[in-house]
Amino acid sequence: MSNNKRRDPIKLILVLTLVLAILTGAVYFAGNFITQFREELLADKQAEVQAANEQLKQEYALELAEFEKEQAAGANKAWPAQKTEGWDVVDLTHYPLENAGYVTVRRGDVINGGLLLVNEWHSRPADFAEDALVSIGENSKDVIGVRNYSQKLFPQAVEALVAALTDAKAVGLEHYVVDDAYRTYAEQEALFNKTMEKYASRYEGDALIARTKKEVNYPGTSEFNSGLSFTLYLYARGNDAVNDQLFSTSEQGKWLYENSWKYGLVFRFPKADFPLPGTEDKSYKTGVSLSLNCFRYVGKAHAAVMNHLNLCLEEYIEYLQEHPHIAVFENGVLKYEIVRQQVGDAESFSVQVTNKTRNYTMSLDNMGGVVTAFEY
Residue 70: Cβ within 10 Å count: 14
Q: What is the DSSP letter of 149?
A: T
pLDDT in tens, 150-178: 999 999 999 999 999 999 999 999 999 99
The pLDDT of residue 77 is 84
Smallest Cα–Cα separation from 74: which of 327, 267, 325?
327
Q: What is the DSSP letter of 63?
A: H
* 292, burial (CB in 10 Å: exposed 0-12, middle 13-18, buried 19+): buried
* 267, burial (CB in 10 Å: exposed 0-12, middle 13-18, buried 19+): buried
Check: pTM over 0.75? Answer yes or no. yes
From first to last of the 376 residues of the chain, give the pLDDT tens digit.
444 445 566 776 766 677 676 767 666 665 666 667 667 766 776 677 677 666 766 765 665 455 445 555 567 889 999 999 999 999 999 999 999 999 999 999 999 999 999 999 999 999 999 999 999 999 999 999 999 999 999 999 999 999 999 999 999 999 999 999 999 999 999 999 999 999 999 999 999 999 999 999 999 999 999 999 999 999 999 999 999 999 999 999 999 999 999 999 999 999 999 999 999 999 999 999 999 999 999 999 999 999 999 999 999 999 999 999 999 999 999 999 999 999 999 999 999 999 999 999 999 999 999 999 999 9
